[in-house]
Amino acid sequence: MAILRVGPVEIARVEELRIPNTISYFTSDETLIERNRSWLAPHFLNEDNRFDLVFQSFVFEVEGKVVLVDPCTGNGKPHPVPQFDMLDVPWLERLDAAGYRREDIDIVMCTHLHHDHCGWNTMLRDGRWVPTFPNARYVMSRTEIERWDPRRPGHHPVSYNVDVFERSVLPVIEAGLVEVHDGSLHLGECLEVLPAPGHTLGHCWLQVMADDACALFSGDTFHHPLQLVDPTMQFGGGDDLALATASRQRLIELAALRDALIIPAHLPWPHGLKVRLEHGHPVFTAGSGT
């Protein structure tokens, strides 16, 4: 079931849903698109300039711990966007098919607390939202928790994330399962949380290092790889667009330095990409292993 490979670490993928998208939401720069078509095609960009935004989680075992990254939107949760509203998706069954039961998960890493990155934190039982992964440490940034807590003065709500804190975050905090960090956290020899603010104020990456191989789970730092070719390219909203641009730039530098496989949250097959610097200029390739 492994889809991606980082040294000895096999990474499985648990898909929730996919939504067709078009590159015109990102850029109208035909020259830029054509210059990059050869490495983007066919899955990151088809001949109609379309691609799928995939909503998926990643799960893997390292140092004897089972790690789940970005647990999607979850079932039975109201949402203003129809594609996410009151989902009834066999995501837990797919997790099972990938070889993991929900009781097996030791670490849940939410890169940020948008609805599609923390939804399966909880599930509905007898009318209450309860932790889906009863044996897990849920790893979350303090800045991110404070950003989305509607009880805080000056809270800035966004329509697509209303009630997400109450349904998908507060129940795991109240169950005592959340490990709060200040942007950086070592979760073991191989696992490190790194701050990457912008898309949201407390957005983070998860770095996996094993046998000199490296993967960077980059969450929503970018939604399409062209945003790394031009880090100023925005998609949708975000908490701080200047910080988001800076984080994309930093991701390129770090991934090139470490020869890392970048694994963003929403990329279709082959789900990852690599970057190397040639005469100081980044050169990208699509891939699923390192």
Nearer to Zn ion, 76 or 236 (CB): 236
Contact 158, 177 (CB under 8 A): no
CB of 205 to Zn ion, least distance (A): 14
CB of 193 to Zn ion, least distance (A): 17
How far apart CA 290 and CA 84 sit, in angstroms, is 33
Does 70 contact Zn ion by CB under 5 A?
Answer: no
Query: Angle at CA 39, nearest 5°, toward 38 and 41?
Result: 70
Residues that bind Zn ion (rule: CB under 5 A) add up to a total of 2
By CB under 5 A, the residues from 87 to 116 that bind Zn ion are: 116
Nearer to Zn ion, 16 or 220 (CB): 220
Nearer to Zn ion, 116 or 239 (CB): 116
By CB under 5 A, the residues from 111 to 140 that bind Zn ion are: 116
CB of 75 to Zn ion, least distance (A): 17
Q: Are strands 272-278 and 191-195 parallel, antiparallel or unpaired?
A: unpaired
Nearer to Zn ion, 5 or 203 (CB): 203
Does 220 contact Zn ion by CB under 5 A?
Answer: yes
Does 16 contact Zn ion by CB under 5 A?
Answer: no
Residue span binding Zn ion (CB under 5 A) among the ranges 23-31, 168-176, 220-228, 248-256: 220-228
How far apart CA 164 and CA 149 sit, in angstroms, is 9
CB of 199 to Zn ion, least distance (A): 8
Nearer to Zn ion, 119 or 131 (CB): 119
CB of 265 to Zn ion, least distance (A): 5
Nearer to Zn ion, 116 or 144 (CB): 116
Q: Residues 33-41: contacts with CB within 8 Å, 24+ apart?
A: 33/226, 36/225, 36/226, 36/229, 36/284, 39/284, 39/285, 39/286, 40/225, 40/226, 40/286
How far apart CA 19 and CA 36 sit, in angstroms, is 22
CB of 182 to Zn ion, least distance (A): 23
- Burial of 23 per CB tally in 10 Å (0-12, 13-18, 19+): buried
Nearer to Zn ion, 143 or 218 (CB): 218
By CB under 5 A, the residues from 197 to 216 that bind Zn ion are: none
CB of 53 to Zn ion, least distance (A): 8
Residue span binding Zn ion (CB under 5 A) among the ranges 42-50, 96-104, 206-214, 217-225: 217-225
Contact residues toward Zn ion (CB under 5 A) are 116, 220
